[in-house]
Structure 1
Amino acid sequence: MIIDAHVLAGVGQYHQVDPEQLIDQMDRSGIDMALISPIDREMAIYNREGNDRVLALSRKFAGRFLAYATANPWYEGGAVAELERALGEGAAAVKLHPPLQGFMILEKLVYPLIEVAARHRAPVYVHTGTPAYALPLQLTELALIYPEVSFIMGKNGKSDFWMDVIPALERATNIYGDTAHDFPERGMARMYGGIGSHRMIFSSNHPIARMGLEVEKVRDMDVSDSDKSAILGGNVERLLAERFRK
């Protein structure tokens, strides 16, 4: 099974992704399932509307989509309540985007949301690569505070922080590296050499990147078929199994 761990879905300021067209692209790329995220203003302000929209899509297209839930930590108690609600209604994981949501990864403001994720055993995808809000080593410090939470390093520090990615991943073993926007013989090979296949997670970051191309990059890695299988779906499937474990 191939699971795309991060796809934007909806109509935003810069991107427009129709769900049915998205499924067609998934079929053409050999992707079985995708975790879909609320989009720009839903991440920043309209959290409940965004969460409800992607939850509705995950129900309408059951077996193809799983929903990310988000909440802007500046809403404080309201953010905690919204994240609890969305996870309670079936969201599979949490997404945080510090630049869009206006906080830095290391701010204590975000701690209550991570604690919600911990209670629900939900993995947390965090956008990285935007100074000074969201850098790989900042995510390491957060992950060390919450070792019981699995974090996905969204975009692996792109664009200018790739040199920090391996040290960040090596220091905190509860962080998973993201393959989006990378290349088999460069960043993916370095990541594989540093942490192995069991902590690498495939995502296309569609529509910013081409879904089919991102799949082919993983398939072009000079690793075993079992390693590719783990990267393309096995690892995130394991995290999701933990999330929904009864």
Structure 2
Amino acid sequence: MSWEWDVIWQYLPRLLEGAWLTLELVLVSGLIGIALAVPLALMRASSHSWVKAFPFIYIYFFRGTPLLVQIFLVYYGASQFEAVRESMLWPVLKQPYWCAIIAFSLNTAAYSAELFRSAIQAIPTGEIEAAEAMGMSKPVQIRRIIMPRAFGIALPAYGNEVILMLKGSALASTITLLDLTGMARTIIARTYTPLEMFLAAGMVYLAISALVIALFRFMEYRFNRYQYYHHTDTPADLDPQLRDPHIDN
């Protein structure tokens, strides 16, 4: 068996076009997913059972069913209803791009909501009590104390969720989208080089994953940098400008 490396270089620009669409799907659905996950997480962390009912059912459904089934339900299922075809939503729902965005957003919102819910419940009660003692209202506590702390706690796990979403985005090719996987399959149909094309696509996925991991490592350090300092560190240890030059010499 001979490797046709020239095919990889010839079609690499096309693969990068598909990679750009993959990044777009992950970014857009990730932002929408976070916007949905935050209120779901706050509802799940509520002490009232009637408040937790809807997010529990929502999260249970989207975490308990395959992402591929969810994509098919949105893409093929919505068109089965005449009311949907005649509604203002049909110009959006008939496009595979937006169907993939909707399915990915709803799916990642369920997983992210559970991450944020556990992070909210992991916040020390003393911080909440201190905020209440200062007279902060509940919305102010959520905005200034709860969500920043919860985001810092959940950040490492959320980075894993983004990686999983990146890999799950390959399922967009099942509804005719030419993402990275879809573009690789299209090229294979023309060149009959499945091994080379899938290997090249895998390398691109690895490169994107490495960038995502590095980004989240940086964000984790920025949000949780206080954890990197030892409790015995002095201000002079943390800021070189505060050191006594006579000690260093």
After TM superposition, is the score higher than 0.5?
A: no
Structure with bigger gyration radius: 2
Provide TM-score, normalisation by structure 1. Answer: 0.23
TM-score by length of 2: 0.22
Q: Report the structure, 1 or 2, having the larger helix content.
A: 2
Q: If each structure's strand is expressed as a fraction of its own residues, which one has the higher value?
A: 1
